[in-house]
Structure 1
Amino acid sequence: MDQCTAFVLLSPPRHLTALLADPEPAYVLCELGEGHAADHGTLLWDLDGESGGVWARWNERRTRLAPFAWCPEVDDEGDACELFAEHSSGHSWDVVDPTRAALWELARRGHPHLFPEGGAPGA
């Protein structure tokens, strides 16, 4: 499934601006699969690698920052889902960024020797 294309301008919360060097508002893109049922979401930072991360979650009315545990699911190759627990769309291995996919296809056409099995380099 393609990645959701929703984005939001995220301004650092006042209580974090004192901790950040030159905080600037920035756009963030939803990391969930298109057509998901709940709020949009993007990972802002990993808490410690195991317990979870801080995610920006937003909808038409509000944006919030909240910690979420990692999704416990693992694919057949042993790779963990990179989304938060109880996310409402496919797992991270099911979500394809259409822009990245288009760029990989252009690279594959222009440099087929880098894609011995037709996939992305290093895949």
Structure 2
Amino acid sequence: MNQCTAVAFLPPPDHVIALAAPGHRPEPGHVLCELGEDHENHKVDADHAAMLWDEEGRYGGAVWVRWNTERAELVPLPWCSALDPWGEEACGLFAGHPSGHSWEVIDPTDEAITRVLAEQHPHLFPERREGGGG
């Protein structure tokens, strides 16, 4: 499934502004939803979400921005504990996320860039060659 294309333009949080050096106010920035494109079809927890930073064990998760058309908030959320079917990759989303796990979500822009690069430089992408070998 493709990644959701929702974008939010957010001002820096008040605590970040308070910590900024005088005369160097932080700029607003954008975040991209990291969930699968169908997450808004879920009745519960349909907010868009983007990870801002990993708490490295402090909360056992990361700080995420969750938003919809009415509000945006920063929330610490634990990591999803699911492993991919091959047992090699943990889900990079929060516990209880709607839609697919991170390995099922494809960033269409990243995929398009990778496809062009693989066509122009196939030696750099042996996994994309016919047969998957190098």
Corresponding residue number in structure 1 for 2:54: 46
Matched residue SS, 1:18: helix
Q: Which runs of 4+ in 1 moved over 6 A?
A: none
Corresponding residue number in structure 2 for 1:33: 36
Matched residue SS, 1:41: strand
**Pairing 1:111–2:121 present:** yes
Return the alpha-carbon distance in structure 1 between the equivalents of residues 119 and 52 of structure 2: 34
Within a 5 Å distance, the mapping from 1:77-88 to structure 2 comes to 77-88=87-98
Can you give the 5+ residue segments of structure 1 that lack an aligned partner in the other structure?
none
Name whichever structure is richer in helix by fraction: 2
Return the alpha-carbon distance in structure 1 between the equivalents of residues 20 and 107 of structure 2: 29
**Pairing 1:102–2:112 present:** yes
Corresponding residue number in structure 2 for 1:65: 74
Q: TM-score, normalised by structure 2?
A: 0.83
| Residues 1:104 and 1:96: Cα distance change in structure 2 (over 3 Å) | same
Number of aligned residues: 119
Deviation, structure 1 residue 48: 1.1
Q: Which amino acid aligns with 2:128?
A: G
Deviation, structure 1 residue 19: 2.7
Q: TM-score, normalised by structure 1?
A: 0.90
Q: CA RMSD in A?
A: 1.6
Deviation, structure 1 residue 16: 2.7
